[in-house]
Amino acid sequence: GVLSPAVTGTLAPRREVTRGGFAAWAWRWAGRPAVVDAARLNRSPAVDWVVGTGVLHTRRDGRFAAAPWLTRAGAALALWRLAGRPVVPASAAIPGLDPGAKHAPAVEWLAAHGIDALVVGGAFRAAAPLRRVQLLRLLRGLSLDPTAWEAPPPVSMCGAA
């Protein structure tokens, strides 16, 4: 139920994931959680949910930028926020990861759970676009590892990624 051919068309695994696409996939993966009225801004339920939970942010003017593709750093941060910002000990150096970057704790959290979908060619490239196949690997890895969540997930996670 995470992928919807009516919305995403063919899988096209190498295609970039847009911020709007990430919102839709994450929302369906989380079990299509309801959006509280205070967070509903008459956008799609998926976008209202990711914005309302702080998983993704809006522009300064309050609009959600759905069209640009999501970076690998942005995807790591979004999933880390969804997990409750768990703290993990710094791991061995991840090639390409700046340990002082805002996204470093999120990438280290993924690495601590053996989820290496964002490390391509032996290095993490923060500004590179997230590909659909990488998002599927991230969601599958997180679905299979309940210890990845600091506390019970804030939503009911689907096991199928």
Measure the CA–CA gap between 158 and 128, rounded to whole angstroms. Answer: 27
Q: Would you say 138 and 72 are in contact if contact means Cβ atoms under 8 Å apart?
A: no
pLDDT at 157: 41
Residues 61-119 pLDDT 10s = 888 999 899 999 999 999 999 998 998 877 678 999 999 999 999 999 999 888 889 99
pLDDT at 42: 63
pLDDT at 11: 72
Helices 104-112, 72-82: inter-axial angle, 10-degree rounding: 70
Residues 52-63 pLDDT 10s = 889 999 999 888
- Tell me the CA distances in angstroms from 120 to 44, 115, 160, one per residue in order: 32, 12, 24
pLDDT at residue 161 greater than cutoff 60: no
Measure the CA–CA gap between 161 and 159, rounded to whole angstroms. Answer: 6
Among residues 130, 55, 50, 115, the alpha carbon closest in space to that of 85 is found at 55
pLDDT at 125: 95
pLDDT at 150: 62
The C-alpha torsion from 131 through 75 and 21 to 66, rounded to 10°, is -120
Question: Which residue has better confidence, 161 or 139?
Answer: 139
Instruction: List beta partners, residue 120.
Output: 123
Question: Which residues does 144 contact at the CB level (< 8 Å), separation at least 6?
Answer: 159
Residues 15-38 pLDDT 10s = 999 999 999 989 988 888 888 765
